[in-house]
Structure 1
Amino acid sequence: MRAAPPMRQAALLAAAALTVPLTAALPASAEEASPAAGLTVSYTETARWNTGYSGRITVRNDSDAPVEDWEIAFSLPDGSRIHQMWNADVSAASDGYTVTPPHWGAAVPAGGEYSFGFNGLHSDGATELLGCLVNGSPCAGPTGPDHDRVSVAYYTQWSAEERGYEVADLAETGSAEQLTHIQYAFGNVTADGLCAMTDEPGQGDPFADYGRPVGAEDSVDGVADRAGQSLRGNFNQLRKLKERYPHLRVNISLGGWEWSRHFSDAALTEASRERLVSSCIDLYLRGDLPEIGGAGGTGAAYGVFDGIDLDWEWPGSDGNPHNTVRPEDKENFTALVAEFREQLDALEDETGREHELTAFLPAGGWRLDAGYELDELMPNLDFVTVQGYDYHGTWETATNHQSNLVTDPRDPQPVISAEIIRDAYLSRGVDPSALVLGIPFYGQGWTGVAPGPEGDGLFQEASGPAQGTHATGTEEWRYLKEKAASGEYELFRNEEAGTAWLYDGETFWTYDDETAVARKTDWALDSGYSGVMVWAIDGDDADGSLLSAIDTALRD
């Protein structure tokens, strides 16, 4: 069992960066070097075996001129040492290491990066760089949000290929520095009750995950994937993003609406739970990817993911019609969470790395009662994200708010709101500081909507769902922003409920803009929540406007 999630969360955020600027005795040459000139350094452990490991150090140059002369000085934890380095020169002393460019030269380009690797030995699991200086200045680059809140974004497997939103866009928009966590959606729990990768249609997409070659123009560090590279695609870009933003924690989210089908079977017995958890740890945290399309291999994805996010929709109650649902899901989910925590703790002891366990939990007290033993679950979870959207949608025939904080007096059926859901959790003994509020970066839309008595289309019957850019009935905020600016729609707002909607006399969209997400963030903090989560980050615009509005509210 774990300590209460808020206390553990504070420790995890403090320990998130692998590059730790501590005081250490360093070679005199580091003190005599030129100023850092916009250089930062990050470190990633890329593989581990027995008492050995591999690491990669990346030098980033955020200045407008290339830097040819650079020097990195650091020490290692007791029991760890470097015995081989490539693409850089290293000298060792009793108090640390000094790394310089290789004899053939290695300029760090303006706005670019240079990486080199090494093999080392460890005795107790710790391998981080201590007292790291680059040209005499601290190595640490972006340090993350200037607040102690939790800021979570889901990045989907299909964001790059289907939405044109690359992992690199998290850096380009400034969102990566504003986030504490990225939940990668989704990992599949298969019919065999395992975390597994397959290229079978509808069952997985290893090409998007780690097979797709990413060109230089779409890469976090501006470097294209090489032929024969074992890790490509989203996974490699997430690894690069973590190197650039060491504070970020990336978790693999299991399940979701489509891939919760087999959760009930996988959680059914002690043996099936052990098999599932072990397979998830091997695949995502040890990074042992199956070789598909020339990519993958043992340890290929090591270091990409920091933990597991459970998105079983829903234990003990209906979700997707294809799901298996059992009354005993409630107790089995408790046991599954405990099994994840036990095996993650064992992995922490082995590697010296912290591993998180989070979960996405539902809106509605009836679902909580059907599927969750909250008093037993919460001590094993670092935090939970609470569904704050899809309260209403185009599966219904009348327009309504999809993400309201409080009920609207005009609503003929005022049965759901973030306030009602919050009270359901608190009345069941959940500490609000363990909760993170979900906020949508998309809207729900109907067409064939009459104006109604208020002339705004709200709470009116519709002829059907409106057509979005990528799907019927939903639309990403970045496109709704364009509709709002076109002059064809009128913007309406309920300030107390934190809602906004667009209406043109025929089509109605309920959505969240910058004002709405800031209002929701304020409400979450006033309610004692530890922060907010967004689904999904690819709905933001090219300036990262929605997340910036959230970040500003989190700082206040």
Structure 2
Amino acid sequence: MEYNTKSGLLIALMGGMLAACGGSGGDKSDIQGSMTKTAAAVVACADWNATTIYTAGNCAVYQGKVYKAKWWTQNNIPGTEQWGPWELTTDTPTPTPTPPTPTPTPPTPTPPTPTPPTPTPTPVGGREIGSYFAQWGVYGRSYEVADIHTTKTPVNGVPTSVADQLTFINYAFGNVYAKNGGYECDMVTKAETGNTTPPPPDAGTGGDAYADYQRSPARTVDGKVIPWDAKLTGNFAQLKLLKQAHPNLKVFISLGGWSWSRYFSAAAKTDALRKQLARSCIKQFIAGDLPVQDGRGGPGAAKGVFDGIDIDWEYPGGGGQSYNTVDTVNDKRNFTLLMAEFRAQLDAQGKIDGKRYPLTAAIGAGGEKIAQTEPALYSQYMDWVNVMTYDFHGGWENTTNFHAPLYRDPADPATGNLIKYNTDDAIKTLIAAGMPKNKILLGVPFYGRGWKGVSPGPRGDGLYQAATGPAAGQYEAGIDDYKVLVNKAGTRWTHPVTKQLYLLTTNSEWWSYDDPATIGVKMQYVRDQGLRGAFSWELDGDANGALTSAVWKGR
């Protein structure tokens, strides 16, 4: 979540420790569920080539069949991905094909060239469905990893664990520190101080190694007492047990977030610095070499906990915390180069371990955030991106508005960039910038944003009305979990255009949030647009798995 007109994650300070993750980005246009296949014809197309760049409309022959590109693609094998960039046609290739004219690639510095990634296996149900587990949720919210395992909702009439309704979990967050003349992943236990104005000199350098791998949880996945001499305890140990109980589940370490993106820009500046950062993070989270603290950790202690890395740099080019390092000119290219470096080193580690480690990123949904990156270039290194299609509006503004609308409302009084602050515009902007649809996950918030001192207005629902400030929240002003909002007294509406739920309470608070019904509409959008899937922020905001189940069933 986030505080301003941006796409990202808002930090909540829980018991002196850090809290943090979130995002931001019209008229409802006709949404095509699938592209119409072309009529049968004899066409001249070249054989598919892994090095050729294809754009929308280009054709290629693979194993005697003609495929048409739906968007920009390179090195995606036709017919191997259910939601991929290639569409099978009924055309017949001519004996002598004419090669398509390749689209020129923008000149790039020479990043480390990673081995072309093996296509990610199609997940159960055809899509990726994930969520974030917040490190600090074990405190004020008392949400343990074990609760993912024990919480069950009916799927086809059978009580099913929340863990079996996810294909992946992102663990939020790991931090990046200034270390050894550069920037590295590390483990510290230090309260985050960056939530004050002005921020202190050490803002953005917090951490909670205690929660990560030293704490004894209140509840365990296997119900057993943790041995006193265990090298791995805390959330990491429980995540490992969770994967053992649910073999189809993957867990990624998410680096950064709203509070911990201080050093990304500095760490991405040079090839040497990028190599140092990627090497340290892979050593710590993939190889599992944790620093020894209070008898926990050691070489390989966390091996097998994490299956990949999620980069949550908020944001390249600026728009994040005031204490972040920022290079407004070079962050755009350096973000691409950093993804290339992580991909190269993950592939190298994968060769050692005999497995493939996915690379994903959480990205802002605002058009101005998307413009600060190179989706057509960096996407080649990614398995997918988690688009933070929420926090479009919130209590930092003086007027009520939807924080995660699916479509643009023509009656919305917003101006400038905020006109396109909705999910549909964000996804279309990202695709137009070159991100393949099969690498896009739509973000679903498990929380709402609200205002106080709101009058009903001419429509009687408080929408687009003046407010006196952010509404009181259980953990922070202006924000509350779904499990809290679902029990608030008042009148609820689902907007006919934006498709989001909103509430005017009996004490003049106004909230917008999603429930199972509106999530169902968003998942229909995911299917209609041919997107890779959806993810949520965050698991501890759910009410007994109701929202997680709605995302899963809608896939």
Q: Does TM, normalized by the shorter one, top 0.5? A: yes
Measure the CA separation in 2 of the matches of 1:186 and 1:457: 36
| 1:427 matched to 2:432 | yes
Give 1 or 2 for the bigger CA radius of gyration: 1
- Give the equivalent residue in structure 2 for 1:551: 552
1:329 CA displacement: 0.8
1:409 CA displacement: 2.8
1:201 CA displacement: 2.5
1:275 CA displacement: 0.5
- Give the equivalent residue in structure 2 for 1:271: 272
1:553 CA displacement: 1.2
- Give the equivalent residue in structure 1 for 2:463: 458
Aligned residues: 414
In the alignment, is the contact (CA less than 8 A) between 1:145 and 1:177 conserved in 2? no
| 1:348 matched to 2:350 | yes
In the alignment, is the contact (CA less than 8 A) between 1:5 and 1:381 conserved in 2? no
Unaligned runs of 5+ in 1: 12-143
- Give the equivalent residue in structure 2 for 1:494: 495
By relative contact order (CA 8 Å, sep 6+), the higher-ranking structure is 2
Do the aligned partners of residues 472 and 9 (structure 1) sit closer, same or farther apart at CA in structure 2, a change above 3 Å counting? Answer: farther
Do the aligned partners of residues 145 and 286 (structure 1) sit closer, same or farther apart at CA in structure 2, a change above 3 Å counting? Answer: closer
Measure the CA separation in 2 of the matches of 1:172 and 1:3: 41
Matched residue type, 1:147:
G
Measure the CA separation in 1 of the matches of 2:358 and 2:79: 13
1:204 CA displacement: 0.8
In the alignment, is the contact (CA less than 8 A) between 1:386 and 1:438 conserved in 2? yes
Q: Say which SS state the counterpart of residue 171 (structure 1) adopts.
A: helix
- Give the equivalent residue in structure 2 for 1:58: none
Measure the CA separation in 2 of the matches of 1:540 and 1:8: 35
Deviations 1:259-308 (A, max 9, x none): 00111111111111111000000110011111112211111000000010
Q: Say which SS state the counterpart of residue 140 (structure 2) adopts.
A: helix
1:162 CA displacement: 2.5
1:363 CA displacement: 1.1
Of the three residues 156, 177, 187, the one matched with 2:174 is 187
- Give the equivalent residue in structure 1 for 2:107: none
In the alignment, is the contact (CA less than 8 A) between 2:257 and 2:313 conserved in 1? yes
Q: Say which SS state the counterpart of residue 423 (structure 1) adopts.
A: helix
- Give the equivalent residue in structure 2 for 1:159: 137
Of the three residues 188, 206, 211, the one matched with 1:208 is 211
1:508 CA displacement: 0.7
Of the three residues 357, 360, 368, the one matched with 2:359 is 357
Do the aligned partners of residues 211 and 10 (structure 1) sit closer, same or farther apart at CA in structure 2, a change above 3 Å counting? Answer: farther
Matched residue type, 2:168:
H
Q: Say which SS state the counterpart of residue 515 (structure 1) adopts.
A: helix
Deviations 1:150-202 (A, max 9, x none): 10100011121221111111111221001001000000011231101012332
In the alignment, is the contact (CA less than 8 A) between 2:374 and 2:433 conserved in 1? no
In the alignment, is the contact (CA less than 8 A) between 1:214 and 1:224 conserved in 2? no
Measure the CA separation in 2 of the matches of 1:511 and 1:237: 30
Measure the CA separation in 2 of the matches of 1:377 and 1:199: 33
Deviations 1:68-109 (A, max 9, x none): xxxxxxxxxxxxxxxxxxxxxxxxxxxxxxxxxxxxxxxxxx
Deviations 1:21-48 (A, max 9, x none): xxxxxxxxxxxxxxxxxxxxxxxxxxxx
Q: Say which SS state the counterpart of residue 461 (structure 1) adopts.
A: coil
In the alignment, is the contact (CA less than 8 A) between 2:128 and 2:167 conserved in 1? yes
Mapping 1:219-368, distance limit 5 Å: 219-326=220-327, 327-368=329-370
In the alignment, is the contact (CA less than 8 A) between 1:397 and 1:463 conserved in 2? yes
Measure the CA separation in 1 of the matches of 2:77 and 2:349: 19
Matched residue type, 2:515:
D
| 1:198 matched to 2:176 | no
Matched residue type, 1:423:
K
Measure the CA separation in 1 of the matches of 2:78 and 2:500: 29
Measure the CA separation in 2 of the matches of 1:306 and 1:495: 41
Measure the CA separation in 2 of the matches of 1:433 and 1:497: 24
Deviations 1:330-381 (A, max 9, x none): 11111111110110111111110210100011112222222x1112100100
1:546 CA displacement: 0.6
Do the aligned partners of residues 8 and 171 (structure 1) sit closer, same or farther apart at CA in structure 2, a change above 3 Å counting? Answer: farther
Q: Say which SS state the counterpart of residue 392 (structure 1) adopts.
A: coil
Deviations 1:395-448 (A, max 9, x none): 111100001111123211233211111121121122211100000000001001
Do the aligned partners of residues 362 and 8 (structure 1) sit closer, same or farther apart at CA in structure 2, a change above 3 Å counting? Answer: farther
Measure the CA separation in 1 of the matches of 2:144 and 2:347: 32
1:497 CA displacement: 1.8
Measure the CA separation in 1 of the matches of 2:498 and 2:422: 9
- Give the equivalent residue in structure 1 for 2:89: none
User: Over aligned residues, Cα RMSD in angstroms?
Assistant: 1.9
- Give the equivalent residue in structure 2 for 1:32: none
**TM-score (normalizing by structure 2):** 0.72
In the alignment, is the contact (CA less than 8 A) between 1:154 and 1:182 conserved in 2? yes
Q: Say which SS state the counterpart of residue 194 (structure 1) adopts.
A: strand
1:317 CA displacement: 2.3
Measure the CA separation in 1 of the matches of 2:343 and 2:474: 40
- Give the equivalent residue in structure 1 for 2:165: 178
Q: Which stretch shows the higher mean deviation, 318-327 or 259-268?
A: 318-327
Matched residue type, 1:214:
P
In the alignment, is the contact (CA less than 8 A) between 1:180 and 1:249 conserved in 2? yes
Do the aligned partners of residues 4 and 395 (structure 1) sit closer, same or farther apart at CA in structure 2, a change above 3 Å counting? Answer: farther
Measure the CA separation in 2 of the matches of 1:148 and 1:415: 29
The structure whose residues are more often strand, as a share, is 1
In the alignment, is the contact (CA less than 8 A) between 1:447 and 1:508 conserved in 2? yes
- Give the equivalent residue in structure 2 for 1:477: 482
- Give the equivalent residue in structure 2 for 1:38: none
**TM-score (normalizing by structure 1):** 0.72
The percentage of aligned residue pairs carrying the same residue is 42
Q: Say which SS state the counterpart of residue 439 (structure 1) adopts.
A: strand
1:495 CA displacement: 3.9
Matched residue type, 1:213:
S
